[in-house]
A and B are shown apart, each in its own frame.
Chain A
Amino acid sequence: MDFINHQLFIKDINVHIDPILPKKTAIITHGHADHARFGHDHVIATRQTIDIMKIRYGDKCAKKFTPLRYGQKYSIKNYDFTLHPAGHILGSAQVLVEKNNHRLVITGDYKVGKDETCKNFKLVKCDTLITEATFGLPIFQHPDPKDEIQKLIRSVKINKNNCHIVGAYALGKAQRVMNLLRQQKYNETIYIHGSLEKLCQYYSKEKIDIGKFEKVSSKDKNFYEGKIIIAPPSALKDRWSRRFPNPIICMASGWMTVKQRAKQQGIELPLVISDHSDWNELLDTIKKSKAKNILITHGQEDALVYYCKKQNLISKPLSIQGRSDEEIE
């Protein structure tokens, strides 16, 4: 496994996984901005991740694209690559690298729980596991997202004169919230911040049920009473949010587990909906992967490293530049 370094770089064949800077060959796990960047020569990813990159950065964000189906093999010299569902967002993938009978899995961001907006996580057995640890503390035990979305629906019913603005990351989380609302039979039009429009259209095109949505426009203030509006978290605190009548500020995020965090951010209705694995899912994945060697990327890695060592697994943190920000999910 010493063929890959702490920056997820395979020097032997000049391949990077999720590099921050433009590179020759980049395997991209998913479309979030801290993983998918502009300007690589050659991008290898799922078709959906490539589509998403093109929506966000333009058709020419890389010189060459190679779409891979889940499970389809791509070889460079004696390295075999396959992508496997990560269950994080639409198109997200884990990367399995096989070389001389050694199996290495880079999970990228992943969640084990069910999600109708993407293909669900598939466990891949391996010798070395490079796992994320965004929620790598035992306090993070995500509740059933259906219960969380019910809180929103109930609040909308009770507070008829307010509008609910839900902060949700523009790619993935926003559409998941919309889909969860539809699963719970909320059939009204959902209003979205302009920055979500293209991605929502793409999800619809990919036959993900996010229902009817419409971009927020300069309508009469009272029009939005009783409505649900979805916006990226940054917009909650921006001048943009001033146009709404008595907004109740909500946030869909795993970080909302901690009340004090929600309070600090001025969130009145926290919804614990995460696209990352919680503590138990991280432990479970580590165990079931049968890997003997665990490398832990961004997040709360200390506790997870400690846990793995106690289980007699070789384990160490990988510090990857530019990835530790809580705002990223």
Chain B
Amino acid sequence: MKKFSSLLHNLILTPSRNTKIKLLQDYFNKLDINRAYALAILSDQLSFQFIKASKLKELVYEQVDQHLFDYSYDYVGDLAETISLIWPTKKEGKSQNLSTLIENIKKIKKSEINTEFSKILSELSNNERWTLIKICTGGLRIGVSERLVKTALADLYNKSVNEIEEIWHGLEFPYENLFQWLKNEISKPKIDFKKLFHPMMLANPIDEEKDFKRLDANEFQAEYKWDGIRVQLMVSSKSVSLYSRTGDNISSAFPEIIEATKGDAVIDGELLVGTNFKPSGFNDLQQRLNRKKASKDLQNKFPVFIRAYDILFYKGKDLRKFSLLERRKYLEKFQKENKTNQIDLSSIINFSTWKELTKYKNNFHDDLNEGVMIKLKNSEYLPGRKKGYWYKWKKNPKLVDAILMYAQRGHGKRSSYYSDFTFGVWKENELVPIGKAYSGYTDKELLVLDKFIRNNTINKFGPVREVKKEIILEVAFDDVFPSTRHKSGVAMRFPRIHRIRWDKPVNEVLTISEFKKEFKLS
């Protein structure tokens, strides 16, 4: 427990991804039952909700004056941390390991949970107490994704993260087969087919100058790049499951897909919101994301469907070694056989030269696609981002000139730089912020901006600096939506700094109403 709690403590304070991986590897360099519990906790695979937050409060009120606790909770803002710090008895017992501790808690009878849990809390150190409460109340919030844990394990034991992802959902606590395979004691665990996740084939961005000279347009086919979320749908007569790009099972969030899908296949496609297979934009889709469940009301308001573009298995047959053209035939067959599915097919764009494709990339469907995908016709289905097979060609971004208003320091490596920028446009004689960006600039531009901010601050609000309104930023963004949450009434999707407009005077920047008109928001 000591080791695991110090791992969590360090992870929460480390901004760097590489350091996080290193910390995870230091911890998982031994694979035992404690690590199995740790893995289940970090990947949220087991539920350890032995006790509710309200119960914990009851327990702490038995130990500490209620007002003193409330003053403290108010100050700290985090229940687990407040309880772990304020818990008074400090007779640290013999340090228990993680697995023994959890198994002991599991054995506690419901009627005795109050006294027994209090006793356990009293015997732990501060940090262990914090860890245990975090585990029990769910939601660690330590900035570590399941994917990061898999990456750390893969690197440490010389496996590919794709291999781990593939079998992940067929693995069960206490992961004996996984651990043995990682240690090279057995070959890769055989997993029930339905629980396999097949790592996805990913595209590289196209380099317009180099790639178009080099690549023969006739060898490629193109499809629109839809702005949804990438999914893998696994359907058989017995079950249907839906996975995200990183192999998370997201079936429970999209029950209508699970109910409606028939057939026997593994489909690769894009999940979109819309009725009658007409996508309605990412803003709507966002209402359905990051939820564990979807109410009927939500399903009605924001119905989802899948736009399929590839098929990996058909009636048990592995198609991944087949060419894209051949797979497409199977996909069409699957589609014909299962017409009631909430699935349509991604249409194929006919073109014979790269130049011809340009107009599709930029104009078609305007806001609803992000550009085009370019795929080698005879490519196998290869996991990962292999070069030379699939490319994405994004639309030119939308651009707007806006005035730098506020700046804030970044995190990690950028913590000594003012690297988060808020920018705005005019509203009568004032500026109203329309977005915030923390990428896109070159290292040189960042230095210039940082210097400007330090020398031209006119106001400080906590960590935020207000600067003289002198710098115009050309901001690139994917899309803009109406928003009631922002003063300006607009919210941008993926804004980034395109360049600094040294040439333009601030009074030539648009007003908010001109901005809305230009981007069709009013």
Residues of A within 8 A of B (CB): 137-141, 236-239, 241-242, 249, 257-260, 262-263, 266-270, 300, 302-303, 306-307, 310
Contact = CB atoms under 8 A, between A and B. Distances in A.
Given A259-B13, A269-B13, A303 B130 contact: no
B72 interface: yes
A268 B85 contact: no
Interface stretch (B31-39, B108-116, B202-210, B409-417): B409-417
A302 B71 CA distance: 8
A249 B415 contact: yes
A310 B68 CA distance: 11
B82 interface: yes
20 contacts: A137-B68, A138-B64, A138-B72, A139-B72, A139-B85, A236-B415, A236-B416, A257-B85, A258-B76, A258-B85, A259-B81, A259-B130, A260-B81, A266-B15, A268-B13, A268-B15, A302-B71, A303-B67, A306-B67, A307-B68
Contact of A138 (B12, B14, B68): B68
B13 A306 contact: no
Given A300-B71, A307-B68, 16 more contacts: A137-B68, A140-B85, A141-B85, A249-B415, A257-B85, A258-B75, A258-B81, A260-B78, A266-B15, A266-B415, A267-B13, A268-B15, A269-B13, A303-B68, A303-B72, A306-B68
A241 B416 CA distance: 7
A138 B83 CA distance: 10
A249 B77 CA distance: 24
Name the interface size band of chain B. Answer: 20 to 34
B86 interface: yes
B9 interface: yes
Nearest to A300: B75
What 3 pairs across the A-B complex have the smallest Cβ distances?
Answer: A139-B85, A303-B71, A139-B72
Interface in B62-80: 64-65, 67-69, 71-72, 75-78
A263 B72 contact: no
A155 B65 CA distance: 38
A41 B85 CA distance: 46
Interface of B: 9, 12-15, 64-65, 67-69, 71-72, 75-78, 81-82, 85-86, 88, 130, 409, 411-412, 415-416, 450, 454
B71 A137 contact: yes
Nearest to B450: A239
A259 B416 contact: no
A139 B75 contact: yes
A239 B416 contact: yes
A46 to B, nearest CB: 33
Given A302-B71, A306-B71, A259 B12 contact: yes
Nearest to A137: B72
A239 B72 CA distance: 35
Which among A137, A139, A141, A239 has the highest number of chain B CB atoms within 10 Å?
Answer: A139
Nearest to A310: B65
B121 to A, nearest CB: 15
Nearest to B143: A263
Nearest to A258: B76
Contacts of A259: 9, 12-13, 78, 81, 130
A276 to B, nearest CB: 15
Contacts of A266: 15, 411-412, 415
Contacts of A237: 409, 415-416
Nearest to A151: B6
B175 to A, nearest CB: 28
Contact of B416 (A242, A260, A302): A242
A87 to B, nearest CB: 23
B469 to A, nearest CB: 24
Contacts of A257: 85
B289 to A, nearest CB: 25
A190 B72 CA distance: 37
Contacts of A300: 71, 75
B13 A263 contact: yes
Contacts of A138: 64, 68-69, 72, 86, 88
Given A237-B416, A258-B85, A139 B76 contact: yes
Contacts of B130: 259
A247 to B, nearest CB: 9
A263 B12 contact: yes
Nearest to A303: B71
Nearest to A257: B85
Nearest to B409: A237
Given A137-B72, A139-B76, A303-B71, A262 B13 contact: yes
Contacts of B411: 266
A306 B450 CA distance: 46
Contacts of B72: 137-139, 303
Contacts of B78: 259-260
Contacts of B71: 137, 300, 302-303, 306
Contacts of A241: 416
B157 to A, nearest CB: 22
A307 B78 CA distance: 23
B517 to A, nearest CB: 40
A249 B64 CA distance: 34
A269 B85 CA distance: 18
Residue among A140, A237, A259 facing the most chain B CB atoms (10 A cut-off): A259
Contacts of A137: 68, 71-72, 75
A307 B86 CA distance: 15
Nearest to A158: B26
A100 to B, nearest CB: 36
B75 A238 contact: no
A5 to B, nearest CB: 27
A268 B75 contact: no
A181 B229 CA distance: 53
A280 to B, nearest CB: 10
Nearest to B77: A260
A267 B9 CA distance: 12
A191 B68 CA distance: 41
Contacts of A263: 12-13
A87 B76 CA distance: 27
A259 B12 CA distance: 8
Contacts of A270: 13
B10 to A, nearest CB: 8
Nearest to A269: B13
Contacts of A236: 415-416
Contacts of B76: 139, 258, 260
A215 B85 CA distance: 37
B416 A238 contact: yes
Q: Which of B14, B64, B75, B450 has the most CB of A within 10 A?
A: B75
Contacts of B415: 236-237, 249, 266
Contacts of A242: 416
Contacts of A139: 72, 75-76, 82, 85-86
A212 B247 CA distance: 55
Contacts of B14: 268
A302 B70 CA distance: 11
A266 B414 CA distance: 11
Contacts of B69: 138
Contacts of A310: 65
Contacts of A307: 65, 68
B64 to A, nearest CB: 7
B342 to A, nearest CB: 42
